[in-house]
Amino acid sequence: METVKNDKQTFLKRTHTCGELRKQQIGETVVLNGWIDTRRDLGGVIFLDLRDRYGITQIVFAPQHDEELYRRAQLLRGEYVVAVSGIVEHRPDGTYNPNIPTGEVDVVVRELEVLSKAETPPFQIKDRVDVSEDHRLKYRYIDLRRPTMRNNLLMRHRMAQTTRRYFDEHNFVEVETPFLMKSTPEGARDFLVPSRVNKGKFYALPQSPQTYKQILMVSGFDRYFQIVKCFRDEDLRADRQPEFTQIDIEMSFVDEDDVFTISEGLMVRLLKEVLDVEFAAPFDRLSFIDAMKRYGTDKPDRRFGLEITTLSEIVRDVPFKVFSDTIKNSGAVAGIVAPGCASYTRNQLDNLVELTKSLGAKGLVYVKMTEKGYETPVQKFLSQDDLAAIANAVGANTGDLILIVADTWKNCYSVLGDLRLEFGKRLELIDHDKIDLHWVTEFPLFEWNEEDKRYYAMHHPFTSPRLGDIEKLKESVEGVDARAYDLVMNGNEIAGGSIRIHTPELQSIVFDKLGITPEEAEQKFGFLTDAFKYGAPPHGGIAFGFDRLVMLFAGQKSIRDVIAFPKTSSGLSLMDGSPSEVSEEQLKELHLKLRL
């Protein structure tokens, strides 16, 4: 075992990592490289934990071995990077550390080299340290030394490798699609990249490789996948990033079942290999309408009950106008039960009404079911029979609180969906050890946007309508379903996709219904519809939000904790200070002026 440097060596190179030594190496001379973690001085002996990615090994300096070395060890501080050579020894009985795999041994140091000194870090290198996220992001290189962050990124690595192996085994081809593409804003805003060589022109960063992966199907690649960065210049919400990663998939000669089978296989494999959890395919399927009516959302968290009950039929003719008029105006009335919440105080109930309004509903009707009967502010509008019918329908028992919303169809269910989640949390009904995975299917093809007074594609304009709905589509977009689907995990949409349109004729009809003129369609998507003219296979695909998927697997609350270098919600990178001002010279070359 060589422990002195040869001519070419610039430092003592490790023979083992800090996670590697066991009883078997006792007596061997080894070299370790790593960071000084913690330090204990006991009875004139210095014990240091030496840390690297692979683990921690205790190293020992005792004055009786080498006084000069001992003095130098006294100068070592936390986060110094050192190389040590020494002999592996059995720790004395009673000093084993059962929490680490190297806990039975330590290394008595014979040679020490300081590779880098370190200032005191801005915060401690350990989990659950109380530090603001901005501070963590500014000093990300320190933050990434913390065990949780390291493990998050190692899990992300493992998931990426497993994903690619899975698709490779299933005959998918990884094809890199361009990052500098054409700007075709439709939905979210593009990030633009000015061209220096082509004056006044711009590339756009991809919001998704959608058109390219469809082109690859037309080219006959049959099965495509890619783990790829995508970009959306949105007003960032708490858990959005301007750049995000998706697992992107497209398949030829398929229908929904094929896409589901491949996607379920991926999830089953990831759960098994990464979390050692068995989960059986096929997954449940819920239609969009069912998901909305039972859970008030298109991404239900089914790890707990509290399902919504539709009350429209029951309250259609009650004297209470708020209910009956809502039904007359094509709205809906529905409710949920908050078990045991009949004890809520007036104040708690007022807050609940406020919460409901802030969620977008016109109001909330609550009914306490007490030993004394029904208690509700709308007592005079609803008979005991009506109240009993409602209580019976929602399945309420004595001691429960019934929450009822009457509103437009969408508002009614989505507000109740939010209240359901709120009570799931309040009452701690969510079983966090449980995994819920299911498909939501049969989405509407179009969605009305009240602001722009126009229809938008609910998924994207390349999604095929349900085949039986194509004739209907020529007349009206209302009631036309899409061959679109989402995969939902624990109340999070983790993937979404569709069977695509593959003929220029049907694509034209859909563009037309979206108010995209033939000229505009040609200018934006002409290359795709042109491609369809030369023989396009039936095809479909899906894209997984990889950041969110890793977040859920790692049990984290924010995607920022599974991204090495994320941006803040205002798009700032606090570590490197981007975005930043650029020189007038750079702007000139790009033929741009600031509009300030």
Restricting to residues 483-522, which ones interact with its own copies according to CB under 8 A?
A: 502-503
- Residue 350: phi, psi to the nearest 5? -60, -45
Smaller CB distance to its own copies: residue 145 or 513? 145
Strand order across the beta sheet in which 332-338 lies: 309-310, 332-338, 401-407, 365-370, 373-375
Smaller CB distance to its own copies: residue 91 or 158? 158
In angstroms, how far is the first alpha carbon of the chain from the final one? Answer: 66
Q: Is 21 in the site for its own copies (CB under 8 A)?
A: no
Region 60-79 residues binding its own copies, contact defined as CB under 8 A: 79
Cβ atoms of 160 and 174 closer than 8 Å: no
Cis amide bond preceding 579, omega within 30: yes
Which pair of tokens denotes residue 318? Answer: 């009650």
482 vs 469: CA distance, rounded Å: 9
How many CB atoms sit inside 10 A of residue 592's CB? 14
Minimum distance of its own copies from residue 441's CB (angstroms): 12
Q: Is 320 in the site for its own copies (CB under 8 A)?
A: no
Region 164-183 residues binding its own copies, contact defined as CB under 8 A: 164-165, 168, 173-183
Minimum distance of its own copies from residue 256's CB (angstroms): 8
Catalogue the long-range contacts made by 324-327 (C-beta closer than 8 Å, 24 or more residues apart). Answer: 326/406, 326/407, 326/412
Residue choice 348, 383, 384, 578 for contact with its own copies (CB under 8 A): 578
Candidates 47-55, 261-269, 326-334, 421-429: pick the segment binding its own copies (CB under 8 A). Answer: 47-55
Cβ atoms of 182 and 526 closer than 8 Å: no
Residue choice 45, 289, 359, 590 for contact with its own copies (CB under 8 A): 590
Minimum distance of its own copies from residue 78's CB (angstroms): 9
- Cα-based distances in Å from 522 to 94, 178, 209, 519, 526: 78, 20, 19, 5, 4
Smaller CB distance to its own copies: residue 241 or 297? 241
Cβ atoms of 10 and 92 closer than 8 Å: no
Residue choice 100, 193, 355, 359 for contact with its own copies (CB under 8 A): 193
Q: Is 236 in the site for its own copies (CB under 8 A)?
A: yes
Cβ atoms of 490 and 552 closer than 8 Å: yes
Minimum distance of its own copies from residue 115's CB (angstroms): 6
Kind and range of the H or E run holding 485: strand 484-489
Q: Is 237 in the site for its own copies (CB under 8 A)?
A: no
Minimum distance of its own copies from residue 173's CB (angstroms): 5
Region 124-143 residues binding its own copies, contact defined as CB under 8 A: 140-142
Minimum distance of its own copies from residue 399's CB (angstroms): 46
Residue choice 22, 40, 126, 201 for contact with its own copies (CB under 8 A): 201
Minimum distance of its own copies from residue 29's CB (angstroms): 18
Positive or negative torsion for Cα 399, 405, 406, 410: negative
Q: Is 591 in the site for its own copies (CB under 8 A)?
A: yes
Largest CA distance in the chain: 96
| Helix, strand, or coil (residue 156) | helix
491 vs 393: CA distance, rounded Å: 25
Tell me the per-residue interface mask from 83 to 122 with its own copies, x by CB under 8 A, - otherwise: x-------------------------------xxxxx-x-
Smaller CB distance to its own copies: residue 93 or 585? 585
Minimum distance of its own copies from residue 93's CB (angstroms): 32
Candidates 274-282, 361-369, 449-457, 574-582: pick the segment binding its own copies (CB under 8 A). Answer: 574-582
596 vs 591: CA distance, rounded Å: 16
Minimum distance of its own copies from residue 292's CB (angstroms): 23
CA-only gyration radius of the chain, Å: 31
Residue choice 15, 46, 51, 485 for contact with its own copies (CB under 8 A): 51
Residue choice 75, 129, 188, 192 for contact with its own copies (CB under 8 A): 192
| Helix, strand, or coil (residue 295) | helix
Residue choice 61, 413, 439, 532 for contact with its own copies (CB under 8 A): 532
Query: Bridge-partner residues for 109, per DSSP?
Result: 86
Q: Is 295 in the site for its own copies (CB under 8 A)?
A: no
Tell me the per-residue interface mask from 23 to 42 with its own copies, x by CB under 8 A, - otherwise: ----------x-x-------
251 vs 540: CA distance, rounded Å: 6
Q: Is 247 in the site for its own copies (CB under 8 A)?
A: no
